[in-house]
Copies of this chain bind each other. A is one copy, B any other.
């Protein structure tokens, strides 16, 4: 008689809601510790299995973070779930997987072009110098095979939207960048980007921003994303 009366809703979902409520009512912050599994079992009236499955769900959403042998903590609330979900969508779509990529790039470009005026006007001298340094890094590590190039590219676009003071745009921008770089290598007939062309495009973006030239800034952004869009279209037509 291991009594179990879910009545209306799944017990697992009640545990999920219970843990959420606990975090909210206790005013916990990311990194704060949560009760142990046995403690959650007693507090929420559920078995280890139900509690564990609920914790795994919250872990997948980065609402909770589990450290083996250490404990359970409030998560960082990142957009990691979005990356996972979109990445799989890009890998799965059999017919229009290139459309998924094209949509992704469109949104990234929209973020930077649509906020061009605010970006150019709010970029500090220090940030402009940092952008220049990242382009220099791309030049130096371009030949080698290390992660230096892609890391600099990622940091460049992160820094570009940083002055907006909009955390969501920054995190979405990076999430889409991650999905793109993960999915792209898995697509058939997808040609690699020309590094020299990429470096020049990034340099033009910084130069225009430093000159306060919004029109030139948007033009440079267009010349940065045009080759990306072109390669997607080419790979698509290659079928």
Chain A residues within CB distance 8 Å of chain B: 10, 12, 20, 23-24, 27-29, 49, 52-53, 56-57, 59-63, 68, 77, 79, 81-82, 84-85, 88-89, 91-92, 94, 99-100, 103-104, 106-107, 110-111, 113-115, 166-169, 172
Interchain CA distance A56-B169 in the complex, whole Å: 29
A34 to chain B, nearest CB (A): 13
A52 to B52, CA, bound (A): 10
The 8 Å CB contact of A166, one of B20, B53, B107, is B107
Query: Given the complex, which residues of B lie within 8 Å of A82, measured CB to CB?
Result: 79, 81-82, 85
- B77, B79, B88, B169: the one contacting A77 at CB < 8 Å is B88
Q: Name the residue in A20, A68, A115, A168 with the highest tally of chain B Cβ atoms < 10 Å from its Cβ.
A: A168
In the complex, what's the smallest C-beta–C-beta distance from A223 to chain B, in angstroms?
A: 18
| Cross-chain contact A29 with B81 (CB below 8 angstroms) | no
Q: Is the CB of A168 within 8 A of B79?
A: no
A99 to B27, CA, bound (A): 18
